Amino acid sequence: MTEAALDPGPRAPPPGGSLGTFVSSLGPAHEIDWPKVYLGFAGMILGQFMAILDIQIVAASLIPIQAGIGANADEIGWVQTIYLLAEVVIIPLTAYLTKMWGTRPVYVTAVGCFILSSIATGLSSSIEMMIFTRALQGLAAGAMIPAGFATAMTVFPPERRVTVQVIFGMVVTLAPTIGPTLGGHLTEWLSWRWLFFINVPPGALVMFLVWRYADFDKGDPRLATGIDWFGLAAMTISVLTMQYVLEEGAGDGWFQDDLILWFSVISVIAGVAFVWRQLTYRQPIVSLAPFRDRNFAIGSMMNLVSGLSLYGGMFVMPLFLGQIRRYSAAEVGTTLLVSGLVMFATGPIVGRVVRYIDLRLAVLMGFGMTAYAMFLGVRVTDDWGFSQFAVLQTIRGVGVMIAMVASSQLSISTLPPGMMKDASGLMNLLRNVGGAIGLAVVSTILTHMTAVHLADLAAGLNPTNLAAQDMMAGLSAMMQEGGAMDPEGAGRKAIGMLLRREASVMAFADAFLVLTAGCIVAALLPLLAAKPPGALSSRAGGDH
């Protein structure tokens, strides 16, 4: 029998298997076409960047959007909230969908839906239509976010993964950082509708690259039978109600509001039912097996806190610049661009540093720097502008980049490749949940502590406080010279505005202090992790 007769010809990757596993099974003679792999992976990275960017791209443009669709102040917040809600629902399911249908079909379908929903959002004429289309956009984006990371951890060999981790760290941190910048300038140059139309050209490029070059695995259609519908329903109810509580709780007085209280109870009950179902059902829709790994469990906690710090930090700074300094959308975006530039510049350096030191030390160093940067914000005053925030953002940008890369690498350092898809979905879910918690915590602190500080400051305005009485007299005289009908009343109003401004600044300082504490907790968590395999660091030195 000839050698040709013994060769069965080209073989497809096994169902649910990775390209790396498939290539290994072919033997050393098989060469991977790395240019094609990189092109397909680049398409997935670009898609993930778009999906994360769109979380924050509306942050600096909510007022123009509100005017354009006729929404009120309470409704406009849902433009951002509904996107995150939809993402959180779909992210854990992505691993199951890619196992069932394969990564390429799921990703290309998600990008196509993302493009269409972006166009529909840009054409929205009412708040109801925009909330619906942003929900669709969030569902599509949520399917794009974890797939790239899972592919990277299964397709690329260990010696190339640190570089890939740096790329992911840059995407996860850079996209939400430059989102307000890009959004603010797009709104100023064109209109707010281009915040969504801008997704069409890069989305088309992503579809082409992924469909043409990203044939990394094959699906297993057998998974379509026996889908855990009960588990899916329990998970959806739990995460939706939890997100609603986190987003709306601060404004509604938390458990003083009946709806928030009941939604909290429902979220806990549905969450417990979901976990029980996934641990007992023969074919869980979200595998919780990665949590059995000590480093992944600890890394998940770090991802939760990093999401809190990342999104909480990116929420508090533009809010301060808009409310206290009265910056325009473009000015807010320009000020926040510093973080993005720092992350982009230091990414390659971070990748090399992380290769040669203990990952636990790298995480401690990254979160420690982030904590120090947040602590600088505790001294914030009402005249802080670009230069003060530039220093804070520079230190924070380097720290977040180190923390994100090292914590993600530490999380998966002892996981088998077969768990990477499930691990990716869980890590991204926890980061988004951490972000939602961060936004809720910051909002609650700003609302509550502003009222506390305002009451304290107002208490100081009494007849025994000579300085306050002198200020009141001076303001009344200024108002009288300005022709005010009621100089004393106008003076009291002016003092009230000054007190509220000062109370708000003090509340922002409190928010920075809480974010600092969160980063300190995250910096100490890697001390509980097991030492990563030594081979990981030594092999990583050969990455080019």
Q: Which residues pair with 218 in a beta bridge?
A: 15
Per-residue pLDDT of the chain (544 residues; tens, 9 = 90+): 443 333 334 344 444 444 444 444 334 434 666 777 778 888 888 888 888 888 777 776 777 887 777 777 666 767 777 787 788 778 777 777 888 888 888 889 999 999 999 999 888 888 888 889 988 998 898 888 777 777 776 777 666 666 776 777 677 666 766 777 777 778 778 888 888 898 899 999 999 998 888 777 777 777 767 777 888 888 888 878 887 787 677 666 777 788 888 988 999 999 899 889 888 887 787 778 888 888 888 888 887 877 777 677 777 887 788 778 888 766 777 777 787 778 777 777 877 777 778 888 888 888 899 899 999 989 888 888 788 888 888 888 888 888 877 887 788 777 777 777 777 778 777 777 777 777 777 877 888 888 888 888 877 666 555 555 566 666 556 655 555 555 566 556 667 778 888 888 899 999 899 888 888 888 888 888 777 765 444 343 344 3
Check whether domain 301-462+471-544 has CATH 3.40.50.10680, yes or no: no
Angle subtended at Cα 345 by Cα 339 and Cα 350, rounded to the nearest 5 degrees: 100
Q: How far is CA 358 from CA 69, 295, 501, 527, in A?
A: 52, 14, 46, 11
Q: Which residues pair with 15 in a beta bridge?
A: 218
Q: What is the pLDDT of residue 272?
A: 92
Counting Cβ atoms within 10 Å, is residue 243 exposed (0-12), middle (13-18) or buried (19+)? buried
Counting Cβ atoms within 10 Å, is residue 400 exposed (0-12), middle (13-18) or buried (19+)? buried
- For 471, other C-beta atoms within 10 Å of its C-beta total 16
Residues 178 and 371 sit within 8 Å (Cβ to Cβ): no
Q: Which residues contact 67 (CB under 8 A, 6 or more apart)?
A: none
Query: What class does CATH assign to 31-227?
Result: mainly alpha
Q: What is the pLDDT of residue 538?
A: 39
Which amino acid, 372? Y
Q: What is the pLDDT of residue 477?
A: 61
Using the 8-state DSSP alphabet, how is residue 190 labeled? Answer: S
Q: What is the pLDDT of residue 111?
A: 92
Largest CA distance in the chain: 109
Q: What is the pLDDT of residue 466?
A: 57
Is-same-fold flag (31-227; 301-462+471-544)? yes
- Map tokens 């595998």 to a residue: 287
SS3 for 28?
Answer: coil
Q: How far is CA 435 from CA 139, 262, 306, in A?
A: 17, 23, 8
Give the relative orientation of helices 420-459 and 229-248 as an angle to the nearest 10 degrees: 20
Q: Which residues contact 345 (CB under 8 A, 6 or more apart)?
A: none
Counting Cβ atoms within 10 Å, is residue 153 exposed (0-12), middle (13-18) or buried (19+)? buried
Residues 309 and 515 sit within 8 Å (Cβ to Cβ): yes
Q: How far is CA 487 from CA 55, 222, 282, 494, in A?
A: 47, 79, 76, 10
**Distance, CA of 413 to CA of 462 (rounded, Å):** 62
Which pair of tokens denotes residue 532? 């990563």
Residues 428 and 146 sit within 8 Å (Cβ to Cβ): yes
- For 444, other C-beta atoms within 10 Å of its C-beta total 17
Domain segments of the chain: what residues? 31-227, 228-284, 301-462+471-544
Please report the DSSP string for 467-499 in residue order: HHHHHHHHHHHHHHHTT-SSHHHHHHHHHHHHH
Q: What is the pLDDT of residue 476?
A: 59
Counting Cβ atoms within 10 Å, is residue 67 exposed (0-12), middle (13-18) or buried (19+)? exposed
